[in-house]
Chain A
């Protein structure tokens, strides 16, 4: 219970702090404030992917349907956060680099995560039998997770030559961040992670209850 209150207070404080405390950036102006929301959202996208993968491994080793449910919910949330990260990133990119989409390495990786989530959810909707769906989607989730390290090496090699400035802009923001901003940023990161786990928990509980209700009264 206490951590839910903490999440509410934290996110509220972060929102207030982001809009009031840091001075506008020199080059970017007020748009730089989106950084404090965009990066945590992208972080949650990756976190959800990790949670889904761990749950998939647990499902395959223990065959408990709850793990499959958790993997599915984590992926659904990951899909939502991937869309949010893509959209907020595009707005950020339009103002920082001049166009909505440049295929810079980070945009590419978020887009690929979006594709993986989409493929995973498409696979789930294509299989009706529950055991089979759980098995196959767990296998796919693990397989997709394994390819991500390759993307880290491969993608920057292709697109960096086109957009040499992006990493500099990003690293400047990161490395020149004063302690206060860093504090707000870390608070936002923690707040969004807690928010993810909150929604995740609620969804899992809701789905378990829904299943139980269906067992008691199949007609509904």
Chain B
């Protein structure tokens, strides 16, 4: 068991590194993601102008930016395999579970990297003051985890469809809605300086959402990938 599990994790890591390296060479997803996020941020900042917004509105805007940036970039992990026609080869060399885990990890790292850029920019450009920063960080990380778990399997579905453009957002939105609602309320609480015990309910929902989506997408990925 020990040997088996170590080869499994190393395989997942190898798949992750493969995507990571090819991303560093082309920087396609990364550029698209970051530029998209920066552009939407700028649009928001310009359209607001001199108004000052409540923290509720700011946290909603923050997650709208994250949501649409994720929609513009996260589907690439599977679409690029289909476009380069490398998915059959991938099927031969690795088990579906390890492929999915690798893609999931890659998407998570991509999204966290995006947030690393967006959060400071958002704080600077919109004057978003977060009083309880640790709570915000917990909400951000758990929210990203849930978002990635739900969207990676949808990315795999969309990659097999013939029309890919808008389908990803259309399919993701109803499934992500509970997550978005919770994450916005959690971010708002953190920005207003609520304590951990007040934000616990949101964190619990986010955690259970991430776990449920993780398990479900692992179980269902076989059926998406097999044909």
Query: Are B170 and A119 in touch, CB under 8 angstroms?
Result: yes
Q: Of the listed stretches B26-34, B35-43, B118-126, B212-220, name the one at the interface; the rest are far from the partner chain.
A: B212-220
Query: Are A139 and B157 in touch, CB under 8 angstroms?
Result: yes
Query: Are B223 and A143 in touch, CB under 8 angstroms?
Result: no
Q: Interface code B163-200, partner A: CB below 8 Å = 1, 0 otherwise?
A: 10001001101110111011001000000000000000
Closest Cβ–Cβ distance, residue A118 to chain B (whole Å): 8
Known A126-B161, A127-B160, A136-B161; contact A119-B171, beta-carbon cutoff 8 A: yes
B residues in contact with A147, CB < 8 Å: 150, 174-175, 177-178
Q: Interface code A99-111, partner B: CB below 8 Å = 1, 0 otherwise?
A: 0000000000000
B residues in contact with A153, CB < 8 Å: 178, 205
CA distance A173 to B144 in the complex (A): 42
A residues in contact with B162, CB < 8 Å: 126-128
Closest Cβ–Cβ distance, residue B5 to chain A (whole Å): 27
User: How many residues of A sit at the interface, in one of the four size bands?
Assistant: 20 to 34
- Tally the A-B contacts, defined by beta carbons under 8 Å: 85
Q: Interface code A121-154, partner B: CB below 8 Å = 1, 0 otherwise?
A: 0110011100110011011101110110011011
Is the C-beta of A87 less than 8 angstroms from some C-beta in chain B? no
CA distance A157 to B189 in the complex (A): 14
Is the C-beta of A180 less than 8 angstroms from some C-beta in chain B? no
Chief secondary structure at chain B's binding surface: helix
Is the C-beta of B153 less than 8 angstroms from some C-beta in chain A? yes
Is the C-beta of B224 less than 8 angstroms from some C-beta in chain A? yes
Query: Are B174 and A119 in touch, CB under 8 angstroms?
Result: yes
Is the C-beta of B227 less than 8 angstroms from some C-beta in chain A? yes
A residues in contact with B128, CB < 8 Å: none
Is the C-beta of A84 less than 8 angstroms from some C-beta in chain B? no
Query: Are A127 and B182 in touch, CB under 8 angstroms?
Result: no
B residues in contact with A143, CB < 8 Å: 150, 153-154, 175, 216-217, 220
Q: Which residue from A116, A126, A151 sits with its C-beta under 8 Å from B167?
A: A126
Is the C-beta of B209 less than 8 angstroms from some C-beta in chain A? yes
CA distance A112 to B175 in the complex (A): 9
Q: Which of B146-160 contact A (CB under 8 A)?
A: 150, 153-154, 157, 160
A residues in contact with B209, CB < 8 Å: 150
A residues in contact with B205, CB < 8 Å: 150, 153-154
Query: Are B174 and A115 in touch, CB under 8 angstroms?
Result: yes
Query: Are B171 and A138 in touch, CB under 8 angstroms?
Result: no
Query: Are B174 and A135 in touch, CB under 8 angstroms?
Result: no
A residues in contact with B160, CB < 8 Å: 127, 132, 136
CA distance A128 to B209 in the complex (A): 32
Q: Interface code A6-30, partner B: CB below 8 Å = 1, 0 otherwise?
A: 0000000000000000000000000
B residues in contact with A146, CB < 8 Å: 212-213, 216
CA distance A19 to B220 in the complex (A): 48
Q: Which residue from B167, B208, B227 sits with its C-beta under 8 Å from A135?
A: B227
* Interface of A toward B, CB cutoff 8 Å: 60, 112, 115-116, 118-119, 122-123, 126-128, 131-132, 135-136, 138-140, 142-144, 146-147, 150-151, 153-155, 157-158
Query: Shortest 5 CB-CB distances between A and B: which pairs?
Result: A150-B178, A126-B161, A126-B163, A115-B174, A154-B178
Known: A112-B174, A126-B161, A155-B178. 14 other contacts (CB 8 A): A116-B174, A118-B170, A135-B223, A135-B227, A136-B161, A138-B223, A139-B223, A143-B220, A146-B212, A146-B213, A150-B179, A150-B209, A151-B177, A158-B181
